[in-house]
Amino acid sequence: MNRKGVAILSLAAIGFLIAIVLFYGQVDKLPGNQKKYLGEAEVNLFNTYIAAEKELLYIDLMAKYALDDSYEGGDLLIQFKNNFGQRLVSFNEVYGRDISINDYQIKMSKDNIVGITNKQLNITTDKIDYNFRPSFRISL
């Protein structure tokens, strides 16, 4: 490399380092009530989504296991409703919810069982209020 190229590259690197120091030096002076790290609000939002997805996965797995246990006795839909209702009690205990089998409209077709509810569950954290419905669909 020639000397002019090295000099320009050195000046650019020094300028870049100064810009980084100035930027991060001003981060704590951003407007707002609370000082937060960059991305902290986004991480809280993702954690809320993950907590809701865990509950939805729990509902889906409960429905699957209730269906597996329902093949042993008489009418499949009645057995499924009984098994799923019993599992909802444990869901309520684990997650502190108050949903029951009466909150669901459960329909069976030749291919699947669908449970639809209008009851909304919510997760509320700092400035985040996330509502979701724990409906499910499982294949026969």
Q: Supply the pLDDT for residue 126.
A: 79
pLDDT greater at residue 125 or residue 2 = 125
E runs forming strands in the chain: 104-108, 112-117, 121-125, 128-132, 136-139
d(CA 100, CA 107): 16
Q: Supply the pLDDT for residue 125.
A: 84
- The pairing of strands 112-117 and 121-125 is unpaired
Q: Supply the pLDDT for residue 61.
A: 95
pLDDT greater at residue 10 or residue 39 = 10
pLDDT per position as a tens digit, 22-73: 887 776 666 665 555 667 888 888 999 999 999 999 999 999 999 999 887 7
